[in-house]
């Protein structure tokens, strides 16, 4: 299996966009080596702005550039964009519905050795509750590249979430990318697995394990958390016995609660959530942390079996 960084897909797409459109600009908060936006700077030095360790000012500057007709991509770590610059994201970008793209890396528990201070397991919840904000969580390198292109095409604020580590390349999620449209990866009539981000590979593994146990398993990949593909979720609730969600994020306020809300209002069925529990992370190797916090195929299978049996 091939492994690649989702943040590299972001960086490659920025360069591709920069070659096509001179209005594309990139801002960074002194972490360009980590976000990989230094690669954009190397090609377009006059269209790259290092704002220093001033995330609030970076988002405010991005808002001003958007008002002048540019397409700014403001880049930093997820925890800094949401927790440190949350006011500017809300009041300066989401409220006036400005055309700012917030590209964040080092998200989720797989940020690894940097520990709880840098592991943004709450950022999807913070971003998706903001009116006008589109929230996209790609599953691998190629989908990250496609998502960045899609974000540049639409008008309005977008929160793009990427990781730090190398993650499995998942060919099933490549191809057309439509914001707000889920990807049906497997048909199934017994149970539905709904994934977002890098959990798509674990979701597909879980489906294989469930198939071996005799269960017909549907797999939906939700690269867009907001707007969520409600019709795909409602069909899953109607046509299968229950849903298991899987996300590299807190089970609070992320994919799981978004899915549960739609199901409860339209066609109630059991919804079990796989994700980081209501806890902070700790330092460690990314794969060790995936095991420790229950973000594996076996954990998805366990939740599915509880519904099925």
CB 62 within 8 A of CB 134: no
Give the CA angle between residues 11, 114, 280 to the nearest 5°.
110
Helix, strand, coil percentages (3-state) for the chain, rounded to 5, are 45, 20, 35
Closest CA to 152 of 5, 8, 26, 4: 26
CA distances from 189 to 208, 215, 298 (A): 14, 8, 20
Catalytic residue (one of 55, 122, 143, 248): 55
Measured CA to CA, the distance from residue 9 to residue 23 in angstroms comes to: 20
* Residue 122 annotated to the active site: no
Question: SS3 of 161, please?
Answer: strand
Radius of gyration of the chain (CA): 19
Active site residues: 55
């Amino acid at each position: 299996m091939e492994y690649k960084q989702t943040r590299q897909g972001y960086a490659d797409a920025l360069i591709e966009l920069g070659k096509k459109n001179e209005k594309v600009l990139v801002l960074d908060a002194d972490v360009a080596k980590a976000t990989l936006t230094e690669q954009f700077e190397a090609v377009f030095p006059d269209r790259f702005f290092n704002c220093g360790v001033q995330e609030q000012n970076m988002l405010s500057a991005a808002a001003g550039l958007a008002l002048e007709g540019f397409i700014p991509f403001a880049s930093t770590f997820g925890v800094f964009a949401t927790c440190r610059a949350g006011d500017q994201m809300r009041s300066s970008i989401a409220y006036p519905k400005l055309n700012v793209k917030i590209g964040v890396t080092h998200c989720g528990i797989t940020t690894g050795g940097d520990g709880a201070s840098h592991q943004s397991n709450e950022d999807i919840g913070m971003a998706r509750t903001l009116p006008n904000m589109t929230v996209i969580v790609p599953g691998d390198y190629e989908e990250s590249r496609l998502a960045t292109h899609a974000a540049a095409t639409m008008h309005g604020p977008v929160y793009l979430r990427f990781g730090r580590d190398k993650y499995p390349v998942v060919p099933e999620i490549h191809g057309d990318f439509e914001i707000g449209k889920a990807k049906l990866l497997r048909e199934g009539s017994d149970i539905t697995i709904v994934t977002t981000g890098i959990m798509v590979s674990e979701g597909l593994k879980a489906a294989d394990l469930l198939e071996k146990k005799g269960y017909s398993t549907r797999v939906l990949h939700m690269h867009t958390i907001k707007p969520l593909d409600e019709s795909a979720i409602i069909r899953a609730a109607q046509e299968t016995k229950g849903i298991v969600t899987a996300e590299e994020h807190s089970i609070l306020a992320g994919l799981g609660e978004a899915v549960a809300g739609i199901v409860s209002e339209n066609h109630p069925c059991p919804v079990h959530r796989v994700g980081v529990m209501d806890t902070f992370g700790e330092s460690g190797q990314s794969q060790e942390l995936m095991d420790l916090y229950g973000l594996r195929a076996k954990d998805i299978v366990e939740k599915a079996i509880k519904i099925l049996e």
